[in-house]
Copies of this chain bind each other. A is one copy, B any other.
Amino acid sequence: MSQGAGCTSLIPISDLVRRLRERGAERVALQFPAGLARRAPGVAAALRDAGFDVIVSGDPCYGACDLALDALVHADVLVHFGHAPVEERPDVIYEPVRIDFDVTVLSRALPLLESRRVGLVTTVQHVHLVDAMAAYLGEHEIEAVAVPGDGRTPLRGQVLGCNFAAARATGADEILFVGTGVFHPTGVQLATRARVVALDPLTGEARSVDASRLVRRRAAVMAKAADATSFGIIVSTKSGQQRMDIARRLVALSDRAFLVAMREVSPAGMLDLGFACYVNTACPRLAYDDQIRFPVPVLAPPEFEILCGVRAWDDYAIDEYLSP
């Protein structure tokens, strides 16, 4: 398989068969994120040809925080494609995707960097290139600081959309994020208050990040939520998104707040239940990324704390799912 700047072979079946046999697995469950799911029939056929009993999960999957434990009930091992672990489990094999690129693309970011010492973070697809990127920056007289995050982001330089611990741990005043999209670098800035430069290694586009637009947008959502007569405090039922401790703490802040258990946080479910506002303790990105899909305001936990008067506006923080 090849894709864009070079996606290395996604699914080394012979290697996977070896690992499954080493574990003595006979029944195998397979889980793919949407972008890889079309490989399912082929991978399933190859594993069955190798003698395994196979079941494929057909539920949506957005991360390693969303393991197909329902399918694992019918199998000895779950093979989760596309993501690195956020928790190690003896019955789950993770097969992350690596996407290569030529690290000289970092030349595009050099004109934007102001410091000689820069924190370096990226997403899991590129995290195997951290040393090569640091070496390239070193050749250009920039000291790159790449360190592990917490238990959910244990790889050097690894950030998730819900976890910027590896950025914070650099202690740097300027951070280079290498990866696609605007969400991660915005989160890095809000989590660290550092200057952040974002480089998309596939397009070569580099830019300075300005998180204030997100904060202004969120302030507008919070203003709408201020009049709500009832709050549904959403708690996820997914394997790695259950933050019941936070949800219970939030419920206790308002006598108009109630716990709402949800698997997929959906606009239809919100409308049906009829709470005037929701607070999301599931995947932190949902509130920020998907407000446009939602029929009512959906707040992040720190935003609800501000609304309830137990957090100051100056302490506005992005919601992170940190390791317990």
Is B237's CB under 8 angstroms from A70's CB? yes
A264 engages B261 (CB within 8 Å):
no
A237 to B75, CA, bound (A): 13
Contact between B259 and A55 (Cβ–Cβ < 8 Å)? Answer: yes
A38/B263 in contact, CB under 8 A: no
Contact present for B38 and A274 (CB under 8 Å) = yes
Expressed in whole angstroms, the Cα–Cα distance for A264 and B262 within the complex equals: 13
Tell me the bound Cα distance from A45 to B44 in angstroms. 48
Q: Name the residue on B nearest A36 (C-beta).
A: B272
Verify if A268 is at the interface (C-beta below 8 Å from B).
Answer: yes
Residue contact B70 to A261, C-beta cutoff 8 Å: yes
Contact with B along A30-53 (1 / 0, CB 8 A): 001010011011001100100000
Q: Which residues of B contact A119 (CB under 8 A)?
A: none
- CB of A297 closer than 8 Å to a CB of B: no
Whether A59 touches B264, Cβ cut-off 8 Å, given contacts A41-B258, A74-B244, is yes
Chain A 49-80 against B: per-residue CB contact (8 Å), 1 yes, 0 no?
A: 00000111111100000001011011000000
Chain B residues near A266 (CB-CB < 8 A): 60
Q: Does A197 contact B (CB under 8 A)?
A: no
Question: CB within 8 A of A41: which of B70, B235, B275?
Answer: B275
**For residue A33, which residue of chain B has the nearest CB?**
B272
- A213-253 CB contacts (< 8 Å) to partner B: 230, 232, 234-235, 237, 244
Nearest residue (CB) in B for A39 is B274
**By the criterion CB–CB under 8 Å, are B74 and A260 in contact?**
no
Q: Determine whether the beta carbon of B58 is less than 8 Å from that of A261.
A: yes
Docked CA distance A273–B33 (Å): 10
**Interface status of A298 (Cβ within 8 A of chain B):** no
Task: Pick the contact of A44: B40, B56, B258, B264 (CB < 8 A).
Answer: B258
A237 proximity list for chain B (CB < 8 A): 59, 70-71, 73
Partner of A58, one of B44, B60, B73, B260: B260
Nearest first, the 7 A-B pairs at minimum CB distance are: A70-B237, A37-B272, A71-B261, A58-B262, A38-B274, A55-B259, A58-B269
| 17 extra interface residue pairs, beta carbon distance < 8 Å, beyond A38-B274, A54-B259 | A37-B272, A37-B273, A37-B274, A38-B272, A40-B274, A44-B258, A58-B234, A58-B262, A58-B269, A58-B273, A59-B237, A59-B262, A59-B269, A60-B268, A60-B269, A74-B244, A74-B259
